[in-house]
Amino acid sequence: MTDITTIRTDDPIIVGSGVAGLTAALGLGSCTVITKSALAEGSSRLAQGGIAAAVGDGDDAEQHAADTVAVSGGLGDPMVAKLVTASAAECIDWLQSLGAQFDRKNGRLALGREAGHGRHRIVHADGDATGAELMRTLRAATVARPQIDVWENTLALDLIRRGDRVTGVLVRTATGQLVAIEGPAVILATGGIGRLYAHTTNPEEVTGDGMAMAARAGATLLDPEFVQFHPTALVSDLDPMPLLTEALRGAGAVLVDESGSRFMPAEHPDAELAPRDVVARANWRRRAAGKAVFLDATLIGDTFPDRFPTVFAAAMDAGIDPRIDPMPVNATAHYHMGGIEVDEHGRTSLPGLYAVGETAATRLHGANRLASNSLLEGLVFGARAAADAGELGDHRSELEPAVVPASAFNVSDEDDAAAVAGLRALMWEHVGVERDAGGLERARTELAALLPRLEEGPTARNLATVAGVAIATALARTESRGGHYRSDFPETDPAWRRHTTYRLQPIADTTLHRAMATA
Ligand code: FAD
Ligand code: SIN
């Protein structure tokens, strides 16, 4: 008999403790937070450039919204962009009220510049360590609230449903105990899908779990094919790869080839500050042709350790003094524009289920995200989902049995590391910066061959689900747009100016009751 503890709570349950999860938790004030490693781990704490907010002289939310939509490949929703950018100043004030220390110049917030932004509007901390300060602040505020019940080192395995409602989460705790926890709402804040790729800036927690769980429960996914590749990760064997923040290019750093010549001015009128997908592809093509690409940030000179301490440390660890030498760079998987489809309150297509942060697709970014809009989106939608979910009554009906996907009970303790490495390599090779039908078909075949080894892994099964969805939608979109570039369809096709929606085929469920009795 499987030993499952069942718990009922009167407060919403949040899965994930990055910027989006902890903002939702603080908005609710009383809730349960499930997080698979230590509190506040995830991509958020690694953020470098900062938080976009139109708080400088001559700037306003309308301009920020216009820049957001301009780089979105025609798919960013202007209404969502207005909603998010109009809340940015309030988010910065809120963080400061919690004790966040952002960098200042002459007593005012110091503002950086990044690609696609028409103004200096990136609020940052400790130069390029914004995420660390952000998460220090949110973590401290969370642990100060005894009504926020935090379960660290606890893995959410699958969503629990009663009828068409999501009512809870099946989790495996640090001691290996299975717990079915039910409450009035579940908010998924599990981050992106970066670990699907052999080369990524994303840390090990970021494995698409929320998207896969939502898909298995029958939620609608949006735009899974749109993956953002960051143009400047430091070439190294480290996993994740060290990011060289775009703020360096905002401060004047340039991309050069082996001879020290710039190549971006010939690619785009905005050169190194062109939209991220354009710069990433330019780098990728050079490297794919066997050439090296460098980020020359030597103009920053002796101020480097103070202005960009994170990048400085990473470069010095790699044996490069960035004050003197250009740094070798490559494009790297960084961010997922696609995710679980949500409305302006973070509600998914399933009653009782919310999604916030990178796992959600709000239509803010469309096919390509504007730099430093992600932390902001997590703050805005974390708060909005909390406000909505906090109002939900208890709709659970005992007449409906609690069900979970039957596969939740086939999960072993460990992933098959070699199979995961194989999956990450095939995604990088065939579903990366440039795709074509032959490569995508090959990815599909290779994924099918790996599937039996991936399916039982606690994390690998989620990577496999998300990979399958991304491959299918990348094959279907026979055009190039934003982060999705098809070398066999290199043009943007106006007929494809639409979002992709995707739902998994229904899968076998089992009731918790039966699982407890028979497994
Ligand atoms: P995350 O911060 O990734 O948190 C996900 C959480 O979910 C983690 O706590 C994880 O443990 C938990 N989790 C996942 N699966 C499970 C599960 N099954 N069970 C329980 N818990 C689970 N964006 C910007 O706007 N500005 C920047 O300057 C910037 N710089 C970046 C630099 C780097 C190196 C990286 C990687 C990203 C950067 N981004 C930046 C993007 C941004 O950081 C992320 O999009 C954002 O932080 C995502 O926040 P999140 O809360 O959605 O997820
Ligand atoms: C960076 O600092 O370059 C990352 C910013 C982002 O991904 O928004």
Inside any domain, residue 398: no
Residue 295 belongs to a domain with what CATH number?
A: 3.90.700.10
3-state secondary structure labels for all residues of 39-81: CCCCCHHHCCCCEECCCCCCCCHHHHHHHHHHCCCCCCCHHHH
User: What's the pLDDT at 358?
Assistant: 98
Q: Is residue 264 part of a domain?
A: yes
The set of residues, in sequence order, having a beta carbon less than 8 Å from that of 135 and lying 6+ positions away, is: 18, 19, 22, 40, 44, 45
Mutate to test the pocket of ligand 2, among 45, 48, 123, 273 (most ligand atoms within 8 A of CB): 48
Beta carbon of 133 within 6 Å of any ligand 1 atom: no
Number of domains in the chain: 1
Model pLDDT for residues 244-297, shown as the tens digit of each residue: 999 999 999 999 999 999 999 999 999 999 989 999 999 999 998 999 999 999
Does residue 517 have a pLDDT over 80?
no
Q: Flag whether pLDDT at 160 surpasses 90.
A: yes
Token pair, residue 267, equals 């690619």
- First CA to last CA across the chain, in angstroms? 5
- Nearest protein Cα to ligand 2, atom 1: 245
Domain ranges, residue 246: 230-332
Say what the pLDDT of residue 24 is. 98
Confidence of residue 519 (pLDDT cuts 50, 70, 90): very low
Ligand number nearest CA of 195 is 1
User: 32 in ligand 1 pocket by Cβ < 6 Å?
Assistant: no
Q: Is residue 247 in a domain?
A: yes
pLDDT at residue number 40: 97
User: What is the pLDDT, as a whole number, of residue 399?
Assistant: 78
Asked if the structure places residue 245 within a domain, the reply is yes
Give CA separation, 414 vs 214, 458, 459, in Å.
22, 7, 8
Report residue 69's pLDDT band, with 50, 70 and 90 as the boundaries: very high
Residue 515 in this model has a pLDDT that exceeds 80? no
**Residue in 189, 249, 143 with CA at minimum distance from that of residue 375:** 189
Domain contains 269? yes
Per-residue pLDDT, 514: 74
Flag whether pLDDT at 498 surpasses 50.
yes
Kindly indicate the confidence band of residue 392, based on its pLDDT and cuts at 50, 70 and 90: confident
Burial status of residue 99 (CB atoms within 10 A of its CB: 0-12, 13-18, 19 or more):
exposed
CA of 29 to the centre of ligand 2 (A): 30
- Give the pLDDT confidence score for residue 396 in this predicted structure: 66
Tell how far the Cα of 246 is from the centroid of ligand 2, in angstroms. Answer: 6
Atom of ligand 1 nearest to the CA of 20: 51
Kindly state whether residue 122 falls inside one of the protein's structural domains: no
Question: Is it the case that residue 395 has pLDDT exceeding 70?
Answer: no
- pLDDT tens by residue, 202-219: 999 999 999 999 999 999
Q: Chain-wide mean pLDDT for the chain?
A: 96
Each residue of 456-468: pLDDT tens digit? 999 999 999 999 9
Residue 195 has what pLDDT?
Answer: 98
**Residue 247 near ligand 2, beta carbon < 6 Å:** yes
Residue nearest to atom 33 of ligand 1 (CA): 47
Say how many Å lie between the CA of residue 127 and the centre of ligand 2: 13
- Residue 502 pLDDT greater than 70, yes or no: yes
Q: 354 alpha carbon to ligand 2 midpoint, in Å?
A: 25
Note the pTM of the prediction, 2 decimals: 0.97
Query: What pLDDT digit, counting tens, does each position of 468-484 carry?
Result: 999 999 999 999 999 99
Q: Which atom of ligand 1 is nearest to the CA of 44?
A: 47
From 133, 155, 190, 369, give the residue whose CB has the most ligand 1 atoms within 8 Å, as the site to mutate: 190
For residue 518, is pLDDT > 90?
Answer: no
Give how far Cα 489 sits from Cα of 475, 476, 478, 481, 483, Å: 11, 11, 6, 10, 14
Give the residue numbers annotated as catalytic, written as ranges: 276
Q: In ligand 1, which atom is closest to the CA atom of 19?
A: 51
